[in-house]
Amino acid sequence: MNKIFILLGTNLGERLQQLAKARKKLEQQVGIILQESSIYETAAWGVEDQPAFLNQVILISSPLSAFECLNLTQQIELDLGRIRLKKWGERAIDIDLLYFNDEIINDPNLTIPHPFISERRFTLEPLAEIAPTYIHPVYKKNNVSLLYNCKDELPVKKISNDESYRH
């Protein structure tokens, strides 16, 4: 079985519901969720003039290949209302493959590990929560070290699932 770390993000609509729907579809179509980070509210990265995101990292165990996972996650995004208008723009759901086992994949359609892991605090905070000692296969550093050295200063705040956040 393959171990896949996935980042979920949303900044449109009922954000907690969007994350829950994404987790459910991933479990139905991709594999078993082994771990879930807390949910974090984060400032938008890249294009900053937009609503704040909710982000979460999950670890899935799956028999599928990295490319099968990519195809399914992109379909789940579409099913949940993802419309790609502008790079790093607002979205109902975003599903990014962060790590796939300890593989390195450089393909025009898929780069594993995700190329921006070390630059994004909103990715590293939840990733370090559930996999602090996991070693990035390219940088040869664990997630806590990557977080410590991350230059991204945008705010990332852990929230509890029972708080209502609307933007």
Residue 95 lies in a domain: yes
Span 105-156, pLDDT tens digits: 999 999 999 999 999 999 999 999 999 999 999 999 999 999 999 998 888 9
Least confident of 28-42, 47-61, 107-121: 47-61
The total number of structural domains that make up the chain: 1
CATH classification of the domain holding 98: 3.30.70.560
Catalytically annotated residues = 82, 91, 94, 96
Residue with tokens 């996650």: 73
Residue 167 lies in a domain: no
Residue 127 lies in a domain: yes
Q: Is the pTM of this model over 0.75?
A: yes
Q: Are 9 and 36 in contact (CB under 8 A)?
A: no
Q: Are 155 and 48 in contact (CB under 8 A)?
A: no
State yes or no: pLDDT of 167 exceeds 50. no
